[in-house]
Chains A and B, each alone.
Chain A
Amino acid sequence: MGLKSSLHNLKEKYKGTKMAPAFNAIHTFLYTPNDTTHGGTHIKAADDLKRTMNTVIMALIPCLIFGMFNAGYQHHYALGEIGKASGFFDPVFWSWNNLTIGLWKVLPLVVVSYGVGLAIEFLFAVIKKHEVEEGYLVTGMLVPLIVPIDTPLWMLAVAVAFGVVIGKEVFGGTGMNILNPALTIRAFLFFAYPTWMSGDKVWVHGAVERSNEIAGGANLDAISGETILGSLAQGHQSAYSLSEMFFGMIPGSVGETSTVLILLGGLFLIFTKIGSWRIMLSSVIGALVMGLIFNSVVSSGWITESSKFYTLMSTEFWHHLLLGGFAFGIVFMATDPVTASQTNKGKWIYGFFVGFISIMIRVFNPAYPEGVMLAILLMNVFAPTIDHFVVQGNIKKRKKRLKVKAA
Chain B
Amino acid sequence: MGLLSKKDAKLITDPLADNNPITIQVLGICSALAITAELKASIVMGISVMAVLGIGNVVISLMRNIIPSKIRIIVQLVVAAALVIVVDQILKAFSYELSKTLSVFVGLIITNCIIMGRFEAFALGNGPWRSFLDGIGNAAGYAIILVIVGFFRELLGSGTLLGFRVLGDPIEKTGLYALGYENNGFMLLSPMALIVVGVIIWVQRYKNRALIED
Q: Give chain B interface residues in 176-191, CB to chain A under 8 Å.
A: 180-182, 184-187, 189
Closest CB in chain A relative to B193 CB, distance in Å: 13
B-binding residues in A (CB < 8 A): 152, 154-155, 158, 166, 170, 188, 191-196
Q: Is B30 engaged at the interface, CB distance under 8 Å to the other chain? A: no
- Complex: how many Å from CA A264 to CA B198? 41
- Whether A191 contacts B186 in the complex (CB less than 8 A), given A166-B195, A170-B202, comes out as yes
Interface string of B103-139 (1 = CB under 8 A from A): 0000000000000000000000000000000000000
Mark B residues whose CB is within 8 Å of A: 180-182, 184-187, 189, 195, 198-199, 202
- In the complex, what residue of chain A is closest to B179 when comparing beta carbons? A154
> Shortest beta-carbon distance, A367 to chain B, in Å?
13
Nearest Cβ in chain A — how far from B207, in angstroms? 14
- Are B189 and A193 in contact, with the CB atoms below 8 A? no
Contacts of B184 in A (CB 8 A): 158, 192-193
Known: A166-B195, A170-B202. A152 touches B180 (CB 8 A): yes
5 closest A-B pairs by CB: A192-B186, A191-B186, A192-B184, A192-B185, A193-B182
Minimum Cβ distance to chain B for residue A313 (Å): 29
Complex Cα–Cα for A166 and B199 (A): 9
Enumerate chain B residues within 8 angstroms of A155, measured Cβ to Cβ.
182
Question: Shortest CB–CB separation between residue A190 and chain B, in angstroms?
Answer: 9
CB distance from B75 to the nearest CB of A (A): 42
Question: Considering the chains assembled together, what is the distance between the CA atoms of A193 and B181 in angstroms?
Answer: 11
Task: Let me know if B185 and A191 touch, CB within 8 A.
Answer: yes
What is the interface of chain B mostly: helix, strand, loop, or mixed?
A: helix
Least Cβ distance of A128 to chain B in Å? 12
Question: Would you list 11 pairs from A and B whose C-beta atoms are within 8 A, ordered by A residue?
Answer: A154-B181, A155-B182, A166-B195, A166-B198, A188-B186, A191-B186, A192-B186, A192-B187, A193-B182, A193-B185, A195-B182
Q: Which of A158, A193, A195, A196 has the most CB of B within 10 A?
A: A193
A390 to B173, CA, bound (A): 55
Interface pair B185/A154, CB less than 8 Å apart: no
B173 to chain A minimum Cβ distance, whole angstroms, is 11
- Whether A194 lies near B180 (C-beta < 8 A) is no
> How many angstroms from the CA of A188 to the CA of B202 in the assembled complex?
20
- Out of B180, B181, B189, B198, which one reaches A191, CB within 8 Å? B189
B182 neighbours in A (Cβ, 8 Å): 155, 193, 195-196
Task: State in angstroms the CA–CA spacing of A192 and B181 once bound together.
Answer: 12
A82–B164 Cα distance when bound, in Å, is: 49
Given A154-B181, A191-B185, A193-B184: 19 more A-B contacts, CB < 8 Å:
A152-B180, A154-B180, A155-B182, A158-B184, A166-B195, A166-B198, A166-B199, A170-B202, A188-B186, A191-B186, A191-B189, A192-B184, A192-B185, A192-B186, A193-B182, A193-B185, A194-B185, A195-B182, A196-B182
> What residue of chain B has the Cβ atom nearest to residue A165's Cβ?
B199
Closest to A152 in B: B180
Q: Say how far A377's CB is from chain B's closest CB, in angstroms.
A: 12
A109 to chain B, nearest CB (A): 16
A364 to B186, CA, bound (A): 22
List the B side residues contacting A188 at CB < 8 Å. 186
User: Which of chain A's residues have a CB closer than 8 A to the CB of B189?
Assistant: 191
Which A residues are CB-close (under 8 A) to B199?
166
Chain A, Cβ-Cβ closest to B184: A192
A170 nearest CB neighbor, chain B only: B202
A172 to B182, CA, bound (A): 31
| Closest-CB distance, A166 to chain B (whole angstroms) | 6
A271 to B187, CA, bound (A): 43
- Which chain B residues border A196 with CB–CB below 8 Å? 182
A191 neighbours in B (Cβ, 8 Å): 185-186, 189
Name the residue on B nearest A153 (C-beta). B180
Query: How far is it, in angstroms, between the C-alpha of A154 and the C-alpha of B181 when the chains are bound?
Result: 9
CA–CA, A166 and B189, complex, Å: 16
Most buried by B among A152, A191, A192: A192
